[in-house]
Chain A
Amino acid sequence: RKEVEQDPGPFNVPEGATVAFNCTYSNSASQSFFWYRQDCRKEPKLLMSVYSSGNEDGRFTAQLNRASQYISLLIRDSKLSDSATYLCVVIFDSHTGGFKTIFGAGTRLFVKA
Chain B
Amino acid sequence: NAGVTQTPKFRVLKTGQSMTLLCAQDMNHEYMYWYRQDPGMGLRLIHYSVGEGTTAKGEVPDGYNVSRLKKQNFLLGLESAAPSQTSVYFCASTLAAGGLGEQYFGPGTRLTVT
What residues of chain A have their CB less than 8 Å away from a CB belonging to chain B?
A: 4, 8, 31-32, 34, 41-46, 49, 87, 91, 98-99, 101-106
Q: Is the interface of B mostly helix, strand, loop or mixed?
A: loop
Given known A98-B99, A101-B99, contact A44–B43 (CB-CB < 8 A): yes
- Residue in A41, A42, A87 whose beta carbon sits within 8 Å of that of B42 in the complex: A87
Residues 91-107 of chain B: 1 if any A CB is under 8 Å from the residue's CB, otherwise 0? 00000001111110111
What residues of chain B have their CB less than 8 Å away from a CB belonging to chain A?
A: 33, 35, 40-45, 50, 90, 98-103, 105-108
Please measure, in the bound complex, the distance between the C-alpha atom of A45 and the C-alpha atom of B3, giving whole angstroms: 12
Query: Are B40 and A8 touching (Cβ within 8 A)?
Result: yes
Q: Is the interface of A mostly helix, strand, loop or mixed?
A: strand
Please measure, in the bound complex, the distance between the C-alpha atom of A99 and the C-alpha atom of B102, giving whole angstroms: 13
Query: Are A42 and B100 touching (Cβ within 8 A)?
Result: no
Please measure, in the bound complex, the distance between the C-alpha atom of A104 and the C-alpha atom of B103, giving whole angstroms: 15
